[in-house]
């Protein structure tokens, strides 16, 4: 008798447990209390990833034959809404913990020693492609402008109200470049002309396109995707 009641209770309990997991129609993910827990864990994961990051470990590189042309477009809007940059009078602005803040013309950037990287671009969504990028090595560039290499963050401000920052260790990684070319040609408009970040050690969204300004700082601020809950470090 007792066993029967227990069994019925158990069955009912199990069924309601199962039903609970199916009730994600009223997803709690964006509740403030839940978000604060999830974002705290994401912040902890930033520190874990920084500890896992080996500044000397190189990402795999690929052959010319594996390069995908054209590269894959991605932004927070569709490709037809890309607003090409008016290149007349374009300058790269510099701010923050930098000794020489004079803006750079495109000619000056093109004259800077070029580094080529055939690396994988991996998007947080799960797709990837192999691309051939070239432009100034970021560490050399930061050194040339007298940036404080002991600062914590390097910010990249895009022309489309898109800001993303990376940690200094990743900025100084040998496979982090300010790309001006794809497959040997100036990067086409939809992929970030005239200047974008390409680093082999971060997910796609950290690679700001259409860069108009670079800032070196010790102050943390959420970038475009972090505001929406994506992880900041986004290391590979």
List of residues contacting other proteins (CB under 8 A): 3, 6-7, 10-11, 14, 18, 21-22, 24-25, 27, 29-30, 37-39, 41-42, 45, 49, 52-54, 57, 59-60, 120, 122-128, 200-201, 225, 228-231, 235-236
Q: Which CB, 106 or 123, lies closer to other proteins? A: 123
Whether residue 96 contacts residue 155, with contact meaning beta carbons closer than 8 Å, is answered with yes
CB of 64 to other proteins, least distance (A): 18
Quick check: helix, strand or coil at residue 69? coil
Q: Which CB, 37 or 111, lies closer to other proteins? A: 37
Q: Which CB, 60 or 89, lies closer to other proteins? A: 60
Q: Which CB, 39 or 91, lies closer to other proteins? A: 39
CB atoms under 10 Å from CB of 145, counted, come to 16
CB of 225 to other proteins, least distance (A): 8
Give the C-alpha distances (Å, rounded to integers) separating 153 from 58, 93, 167, 170, 222.
21, 16, 5, 10, 12
CB of 191 to other proteins, least distance (A): 19
Q: DSSP for 212-227?
A: EEEEEESS----TTTT
Place of tokens 């947080």: 124
CB atoms under 10 Å from CB of 45, counted, come to 14
CB of 160 to other proteins, least distance (A): 19
Q: Which CB, 25 or 89, lies closer to other proteins? A: 25
Rounded-to-integer distance, Cα 199 and Cα 181, Å: 14
CB of 167 to other proteins, least distance (A): 14
């Amino acid at each position: 008798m007792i066993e029967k009641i227990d069994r019925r209770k158990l069955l009912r309990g199990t069924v309601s447990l199962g039903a609970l997991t199916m009730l994600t129609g009223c997803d709690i993910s964006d509740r403030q209390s839940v978000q604060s827990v999830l974002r705290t864990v994401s912040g902890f994961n930033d520190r874990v990833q920084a500890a896992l990051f080996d500044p000397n470990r190189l990402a795999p590189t690929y052959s010319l034959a594996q390069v995908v042309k054209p590269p894959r477009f991605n932004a927070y809007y569709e490709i037809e809404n890309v607003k090409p940059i008016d290149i007349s009078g374009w300058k790269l602005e510099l701010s923050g913990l930098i000794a020489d803040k004079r803006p750079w013309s495109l000619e000056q950037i093109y004259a800077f020693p070029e580094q080529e990287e055939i690396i994988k671009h991996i998007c947080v969504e799960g797709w990837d492609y192999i691309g051939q990028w070239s432009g100034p090595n970021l560490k050399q560039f930061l050194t040339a402008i007298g940036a404080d290499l002991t600062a914590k963050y390097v910010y990249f401000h895009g022309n489309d109200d898109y800001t993303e920052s990376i940690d200094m260790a990743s900025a100084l990684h040998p496979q982090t470049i300010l790309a001006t070319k794809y497959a040997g040609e100036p990067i086409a408009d939809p992929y970030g002309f005239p200047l974008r970040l390409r680093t082999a050690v971060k997910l796609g969204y950290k690679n700001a396109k259409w860069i108009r300004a670079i800032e070196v700082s010790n102050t943390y601020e959420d970038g475009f995707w972090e505001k929406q809950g994506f992880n900041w470090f986004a290391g590979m």
